[in-house]
């Protein structure tokens, strides 16, 4: 457990007091800054170790070609934890879900899963990692995967 100071905010596992300068007692893996500047507890199953375990379970199922179970696993993770994930991690999970939908023959689900990433991915078309700004280099591989998966799924939905 760590103690840090946040002006105007105390966050302790989902409790918010605004307007005070008080210490914030935070369990690092359990408290997350939310959109709008509010702190609250991570969703159940969304701590980094739990996310890693769910992704490993997905990978094992996918590798065994148990695509329905793999999709269920990764879909539950995305639904429950997307707000808690770093953008790059959520993008990889979206790509995992999309390609699993593709394997199941659900091409429209593949496209709709990737749709939130499509505009950003388009800006990475043909970009090499070395040419990207340092703070964006981690996004290049996932955005290029998104572009490839959009083409793959899009070609099948147009048939």
Phi-psi region of 115 (alpha: psi -120 to 50; beta: other; left: phi over 0): alpha
Burial class for 7, CB neighbours closer than 10 Å (0-12, 13-18, 19+): exposed
Q: How confident is the model at residue 32 (pLDDT cuts 50, 70, 90)?
A: low
All structural domains of the chain with their residue ranges: 2-41, 48-157
Question: How open is the CA angle 117-119-121, to the nearest 5 degrees?
Answer: 65
Tokens 């990475």 — which residue?
124
112/133 Cα distance (integer angstroms):
29
- Tell me the pTM: 0.73
Portion of the chain with pLDDT greater than 70, in percent? 72
Q: Which pLDDT belongs to residue 99?
A: 97
129/125 Cα distance (integer angstroms):
11
User: Given a cut of 70, is residue 6 above it in pLDDT?
Assistant: no
The answer to whether domain 48-157 has CATH 1.10.1760 is no
Q: Which pLDDT belongs to residue 124?
A: 84
CA distances from 97 to 60, 83, 133, 135 (A): 14, 16, 28, 26
**What would the pLDDT profile of 76-115 be if each residue is shown by its tens digit?**
999 999 988 999 999 999 999 999 999 999 999 999 999 9
Q: Which two tokens stand for residue 95?
A: 């790509």
């Amino acid at each position: 457990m760590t103690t840090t100071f946040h002006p105007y905010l105390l966050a302790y596992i989902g409790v918010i007091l605004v307007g005070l300068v008080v210490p914030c007692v935070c369990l690092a893996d359990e408290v997350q800054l939310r959109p709008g500047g509010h702190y609250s507890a991570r969703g159940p199953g969304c701590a980094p170790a739990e996310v890693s375990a769910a992704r490993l379970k997905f990978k094992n199922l996918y590798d065994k070609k148990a695509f329905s179970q793999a999709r269920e696993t990764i879909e539950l993770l995305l639904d429950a934890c997307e707000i808690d994930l770093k953008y790059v991690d959520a993008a990889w999970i979206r790509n995992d879900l999309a390609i699993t939908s593709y394997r199941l023959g659900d091409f429209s689900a593949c496209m709709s899963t990737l749709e939130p990433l499509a505009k950003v991915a388009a800006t990475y078309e043909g970009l090499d990692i070395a040419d990207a700004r340092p703070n964006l280099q981690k996004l290049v591989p996932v955005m290029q995967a998104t572009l490839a998966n959009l083409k793959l799924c899009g070609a099948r939905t147009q048939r």
